[in-house]
Amino acid sequence: MHGSLLALPLLLAATAPAEPPSAWPLSAEVMIAADAARYAPPDLKRQLAKHRARLMAGVQAAAAAEKGTRDAAAHRAAAARAARHIAESIRRHVSFADVAYETGGLVHEVASACWLSGGPFDPKDAAGAPRSGRFLGFGTSPFSEPEMLAASVPAGKRGSARDAYDASVTVSTRLLAWIWRAAGGDASAVGRHPEASGPYALRGD
């Protein structure tokens, strides 16, 4: 009798459903960073490609430091602050390796906001989202304030992991375009990918 009672908590623990993950897998976050650069202004895209290792290191460091105590709005606000800081860093001619690292942190903030707004998601769906990810395009006011851009793709609780992935890529890309223009760079390429003509493939298909 006592043995059966002692075994009951173990049985319940074994049969209880696993807790859904509280964030993107790191493999998906680094893909969000890579995909965000795909439709960024060409000069910025080249710099991020040149410093890809630092970009990914920035994502990894931000994800590792994440305590999971902030809500989606706090992550969006952090992404907007990061955009302003990165633009200022570029204007001050900070090493682009450091700029890329900071950009990785920005991507983490955006991805976290989109996860919290739409998730949690099944781990398999989250891991597979990059395979069919899309960039939704630039909005009609592509150089609005970063606070507006950070919230420019609403994510609802009924969305899919792919929807949240697309939102993460799109918001990150829009912030990259804002950063480059605010830093004095040429961001006119945004006109080639309007939201009205999207979405745009990320895998070349």
Give percent above pLDDT 90 in the chain: 81
Name the pLDDT band for 18 (thresholds 50, 70, 90).
Answer: low
Q: Model-level pTM?
A: 0.89
12 in a domain, yes or no? no
Quickly list H helices, 92-134.
Answer: 96-118, 123-128
HSE at residue 69, side-chain half, CA atoms within 13 A, is 2
Residue 110 domain boundaries: 22-201
Number of domain units in the chain = 1
Is it the case that residue 10 has pLDDT exceeding 70? Answer: no
- Per residue in 51-68, pLDDT (tens digit) is 999 999 999 999 999 998
140 in a domain, yes or no? yes
Nearest-angstrom CA–CA distance, 143 and 84: 12
15 in a domain, yes or no? no
CA distances from 184 to 18, 44, 178, 179 (A): 49, 11, 10, 9
- Using DSSP's 3-state secondary structure scheme, residue 142 falls into coil
Burial environment of residue 180 by CB neighbours within 10 A (0 to 12, 13 to 18, 19 or more): buried
Name the pLDDT band for 141 (thresholds 50, 70, 90).
Answer: very high
- Using DSSP's 3-state secondary structure scheme, residue 140 falls into coil
194 in a domain, yes or no? yes
Is it the case that residue 156 has pLDDT exceeding 90? Answer: no
Is it the case that residue 157 has pLDDT exceeding 90? Answer: no
Mean pLDDT score across all residues of the chain? 90
